[in-house]
Structure 1
């Protein structure tokens, strides 16, 4: 079985109009929410083996905070330019190339690509992945290459303002 945790980067800071979209950092709320959401995973012993992230600053900061909270080594964080501004098709192509030695990978990126990917991979009933939102999808395969549209099973959906505990969703 393969497990994919999709995470949208934390809330970004729009205060400096001179920064490009790629260079925008997390704002105060994003800096607070990323470690909080990672802690929710840790509290439920949900720890990916690897993180693949967009190299955009806000995604990179989110990935670093998740890795720190979850105790994931820096060598297990991969920054992939293919994640930035990716469509669901682009993201699926990247997922299909994941190394099969990893059973559980977190992918940190951006909307609308992530939300579109979730809608295509499983029957989630979700219309938008909020900033710092997380979705866990399981696939009944031994190879990432086999992941395709409508082959996933949604295990949980969590976001910073959610009042539902992950452990109650997983029970």
Structure 2
């Protein structure tokens, strides 16, 4: 069984409107929501074997905060530019590169690609909110085998879901 947790970056700051989009940091709300959502994962005992993240500042910081709360080694997070504003098919290709020894993968990225990926797997969602988490399970032994046909909703959570 493979488990995928899709996590949209926490709320980003627009205080510097001329800052390159890739470099935008987290806003105060994002800095509040990221640890809150990571603690919810910890409480449900959802711990990653691997983390894959966009290298954009806001996604990177969301992943680093999550890793800290879950005692996941920050040096083991794989950051890639291939997840920055990527299409669902590109994100899907990156997931399928995951080593088979990994059972639970956390993926940090951006909309609209994450919404499209969730819909590709059969998930019904209007919008994955900032810091939202969408969990899927796949009854397969290899990440290369995951598909819409073997995807099942595991959970959906977001900061205002109190």
- TM-score bucket of the superposed structures, by smaller chain: over 0.9
Match of 1:167 in 2: none
Closer, same or farther in 2 for the Cα pair 1:119/1:159, shift >3 Å? same
CA contact (8 A) 2:118 2:124 kept: no
Asked if 1:18 corresponds to 2:27, the answer is: no
CA distance in 1, matches of 2:20, 2:46: 34
Match of 1:116 in 2: 116
CA distance in 1, matches of 2:44, 2:96: 27
1:105-144 superposed matches below 5 A: 105-122=105-122, 124-144=123-143
Match of 1:87 in 2: 87
CA contact (8 A) 1:3 1:139 kept: yes
Deviation at residue 76 of structure 1 after TM alignment: 2.2
Corresponding residue SS for 2:148: coil
1:42-81 superposed matches below 5 A: 42-81=42-81
CA contact (8 A) 1:49 1:76 kept: no
Corresponding residue SS for 2:134: strand
CA contact (8 A) 2:49 2:104 kept: yes
Aligned length: 162
**1:99-142: per-residue Cα shift (whole Å, max 9, x none)?**
111011100000000011001113x2211100000011000100
CA distance in 1, matches of 2:46, 2:99: 20
Q: What is the TM-score of this pair, normalised by structure 2? A: 0.97
Deviation at residue 18 of structure 1 after TM alignment: 2.3
CA distance in 2, matches of 1:150, 1:25: 37
**1:124-166: per-residue Cα shift (whole Å, max 9, x none)?**
2211100000011000100000112343101100000003xxx
Q: Which runs of 4+ in 1 moved over 4 A?
A: none
Match of 2:40 in 1: 40
Match of 1:31 in 2: 31
